[in-house]
Every structure is written in C-alpha cells, then in structure tokens.
Amino acid sequence: MTDISLSLKVCDIKEQGLLERLQSFCAQEIVGDDAAVMQIEPGKSLVITTDVLVDGVHFSEGTTSPEDAGWRAAAANLSDLAAMGAEPLAITVGLGIRGDTLVSWVERLYQGMTSCLKQYNTLIVGGDIVRSPVNTLSITAFGQVNSKRIIRRSAAQPGDAIVVTGVHGASRAGLELLLHPELAQNLNPDARDALILAHQRPRPRLDVLPFLWSSLEDSPRVAGMDSSDGLADAVVQICQASGVGARIERDRIPIPKQLSEIVSAEQALNWALYGGEDFELVLCLPPVAAEIFVQKLDVGAAIVGAIAADKDILLVDKNKKYPDEPLMRSRGFQHF
C-alpha cells in the first residue's frame, strides 16, 4: 500500500488546497482576512499584510515597466490595509534578484514603490536583498486601526447595503488595451490612457475611510474587503465568511462608459465582475449609512445590491430581462 499523500504536489491541490493545509500551522483566529490583526494595546490594533510578486508570473517586462510593477505592488499592499480599515504605518521590502539584473531596473522598481507610498505618507523602513535565479518582490505592509473599526469579511448582516467605492472593469480593460492595442481604434486617446492608467497605477482607497467612519457615526458595524481579485470574488468571500447571501443588481454595477467603445456590454460586465485588480473597496453596511457614505464619494461609488438572509449569491436584473445568475469566485485569479 502506498501513501498517496507523500507524492502529492502543490500543482495537484492548487493555492487554495495548500492554504487550507497550512492553516493548521497558523494562528487560525487571525488569518483569513485581507490582513492579520493583532491587538497591541487596549483599543488599538496592528494590521499586517504580505504579498509576494514573481517576475514572469505577476509582472513582466512586456506589459509592465519596473516603475509600474513597483507602484502596483505597493498599492496592492496598501489596499489590503484599507480593506481592514487601517491607516498605513510603513512597509518592508524583501527582494530576490538575479545578478545580471540592471541596477537601473531595481532603482526604477523602488522609484515606483516610493511614488505610490509617498501619496499615503508611507515609508520603506527595511527589508532584505538576496541573490535569486528569479526576480521576486515580497512586500509586508503594516498599519494601525482603532480596534472598534476593524473591517472584517465576516461581519455582513442580512439587509446591509453593498457599496462599491468606484468603477469596476477599468483595470482589466487597461490590460487588454496594452495586450491588444487595436482594441483602442474607436476610443479617444484620453479615454484609452485613463483605462491603461487604471491598470498601471491603481489607487488604494485609503481616502474613503474618513468618509466611512463619519457616515457610520455611533455604530461602526461594517464588513468588507477589497476587489483586487474581482468584484464577484469579493462579494462571494464576504458572504461565505459571514454566512449570508447577496443580490447584486446588474444595472447598478458602475462600469466605465468607455468600455462600451471597445467590447460588448456583456463582456464589459464580465470584466467588471471578474476582471480583478480594480482595488476598490466592497463594503456592507446599514442602508441609511450606505446612502450617506456613497454621497460623500466620487462618481463611480454606488450601492450595488444587498445582503440576503439565504445563502444564494446572485446577479439579478430588476427589469427581468436577464435570468438570475450565481456569482462565483472561480473566474478570478488562480495562482497555480
């Protein structure tokens, strides 16, 4: 009798399977949100998030300049902090680097990171640089949050409004325009550049947090995460963590108008739901507070649906033109 588990490979169980197996080695009450939370003193918590980016997997010379790779890496980590309600304190950078990498490439990578970080008064406070056969960037970001204001995935309740803080689908459209420039033939150059910028220079939505707290006032109950792996993924993950369902209204999803110039409405909706990397926040809060919150935000922010008591997570059409459609995580990113 052979033990099949001894020959099991990482590619056999994918990222999710590996994560599940490694959970037992981790502090189980802490892992599972966009970032880890540790109470460091009464009323104040430290929030910590780590991302690893690998050359050829998460960025490549072809579509991403080193400045953009650096910006995006920093932005993704700050977005994880924003998704927990935390203000950033600092980041550390672990760099594995090939000996034949141009020094100017590394400097441009750091230039991109600091350009992003500067917008949010965040510094690189340390790190490590080692030799590696493949360029790898590992960022750990720290933030702090009033312990009563931690935004967790698991706190959504039936009746909550579901808010998105901005348009979705822009980042994926920008990527497609980089890969297939011919898509831009009906698009004016400014519109094209705006979509590409959404992909290359995403902005973590730390700016919406003060508006969120002032909208919630005395009852800061809010659930949420960021939409880095797609809007649909965020809704599904929040629902699963909270043990609830959701109805997302098809025509309330904010999609940039320019997308209709390059693809069908169907495809644009698909990018908005499953494209990923828009780095907006998806937040669930009481409807009255949600209305106040959305009014304080820029164009694009919207209430897109509501949390339901049943477990169904559905894309619905108010006009009944389209049948209900279940939302899934699976069209999001799979890392193996």
State the Cα torsion 56-49-163-217 to the nearest 10°: -160
Distance CA(161)–CA(45), nearest Å, equals: 27
Among 125, 179, 265, 288, binds its own copies (CB under 8 A): 125
Task: State which of positions 85-104 bind its own copies (CB under 8 A).
Answer: 89-90, 92-104
Distance CA(160)–CA(273), nearest Å, equals: 20
100: how many CB neighbours lie within 10 A of its CB?
Answer: 5
- Give CA separation, 216 vs 143, 209, 282, 316, in Å: 21, 11, 15, 27
Closest separation in Å from C-beta 107 to its own copies: 6
Q: Which one of the spans 129-137, 209-217, 259-267, 315-323 is the region binding its own copies (CB under 8 A)?
A: 129-137
**Beta strand residue intervals within 106-180, DSSP E:** 123-131, 136-146, 161-164
Residue 143 phi/psi, 5-degree rounding, is -145, 175
Among 60, 61, 121, 126, binds its own copies (CB under 8 A): 126
Residue (57 or 309) nearer to its own copies, CB: 57
Give the type of residue at 45.
Answer: S
Query: Considering only CA atoms, which of 278, 272, 243 is closest in space to residue 331?
Result: 272
- 124 sits near its own copies (criterion: CB under 8 A): yes
Closest separation in Å from C-beta 82 to its own copies: 16
Residue window 280-299: x/- pattern of binding to its own copies, with contact defined by CB under 8 A = --------------------
- 1 sits near its own copies (criterion: CB under 8 A): no
Task: State which of positions 9-68 bind its own copies (CB under 8 A).
Answer: 9-13, 15, 18-19, 21-22, 25-27, 30-31, 35-36, 38, 40-41, 44, 46, 48-54, 56-58
Closest separation in Å from C-beta 1 to its own copies: 17
